[in-house]
């Protein structure tokens, strides 16, 4: 039996009022091969929670790496709860082989930059791929910022190999 890859999913902890985004997140489950991936995530609410519920309904193996301070819904999956946010963050980042980043707020952006930092340092395991759902150009400025930092050489040159800004679900499917 081939060991499944560990797909980390990160994104907003609130449910957007954008009906197209909600429908897009529901449709995203059709692009995630549950025979190929075990799903790791850190939030049971918002667009991540919606995606996880859909994946659980498809019988995906989902593993919640959570922080005691977060509100938690009882989703039908394995859960590990850490006492502080930094432990939770560290363990979520270190367990995954690749990441799917959905639109979100400050926590999502912090997670994305932590992943990119790990990818660009020699401090530990580097993810194979980082797939960013650039829904309606949500991450446009993030991409631009990374390009500017790299061009200005304000530090170590940023390695964006296997970092994909995907505008459509079809693009995500091809990268997964």
Per-residue pLDDT of 142-160, as tens digits, reads 999 988 888 877 766 777 8
Report how far apart, in Å, the C-alpha atoms of 132 and of each of 38, 83, 125, 155, 176 are.
18, 28, 19, 23, 11
Q: For residue 61, what pLDDT is reported?
A: 92
> Which pLDDT band holds residue 124 (cuts at 50, 70, 90)?
low
Place of tokens 């959905």: 102
Q: Which of 83, 81, 98 lies closest to 43 in space, CA to CA? A: 81
Residue 68's pLDDT band (cuts 50, 70, 90): confident
Cα distances from 8 to residues 39, 42, 72, 97, in angstroms, run 6, 9, 18, 8
Q: Where are the domains positioned within the chain?
A: 5-175
- pLDDT at 35 (0 to 100): 94
Digit-coded pLDDT (tens) for 3-31 = 999 999 999 888 888 899 999 999 999 99
Give 88's pLDDT tier (boundaries 50, 70, 90): confident
Average confidence (pLDDT) over 96-109: 93
Among 3.30.70.1060, 1.10.287.1080, 3.40.50.450, 3.40.50.150, name the CATH number for the domain at 5-175: 3.40.50.450
Whole-model pTM: value is 0.91
What is the pLDDT, as a whole number, of residue 72?
61
**8 Å CB contact between 65 and 41:** yes
Q: What is the pLDDT of residue 113?
A: 92
Query: Is the pLDDT score of 74 beyond 60?
Result: no
């Amino acid at each position: 039996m081939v060991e499944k890859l560990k797909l980390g999913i990160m994104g907003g902890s609130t449910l957007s009022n954008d009906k197209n985004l909600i429908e897009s997140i529901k449709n995203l489950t059709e692009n995630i091969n549950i025979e190929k991936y075990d799903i790791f995530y850190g939030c049971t609410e918002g667009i991540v929670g919606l995606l996880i519920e859909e994946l659980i309904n498809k019988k995906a193996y989902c593993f919640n790496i959570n922080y005691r301070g977060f509100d938690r819904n009882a989703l039908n999956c394995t859960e590990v709860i850490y006492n502080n946010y930094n432990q939770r963050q560290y363990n979520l980042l270190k367990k995954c082989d690749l990441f799917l980043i959905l639109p979100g707020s400050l926590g999502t952006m912090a997670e994305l930059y932590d992943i990119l930092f790990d990818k660009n340092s020699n401090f530990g395991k580097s993810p194979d791929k980082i797939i960013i759902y650039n829904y309606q150009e949500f991450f446009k400025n993030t991409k631009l910022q990374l390009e500017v930092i790299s061009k200005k050489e304000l530090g170590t040159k940023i390695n964006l190999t296997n970092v994909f800004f995907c505008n459509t679900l079809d693009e995500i499917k091809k990268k997964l």
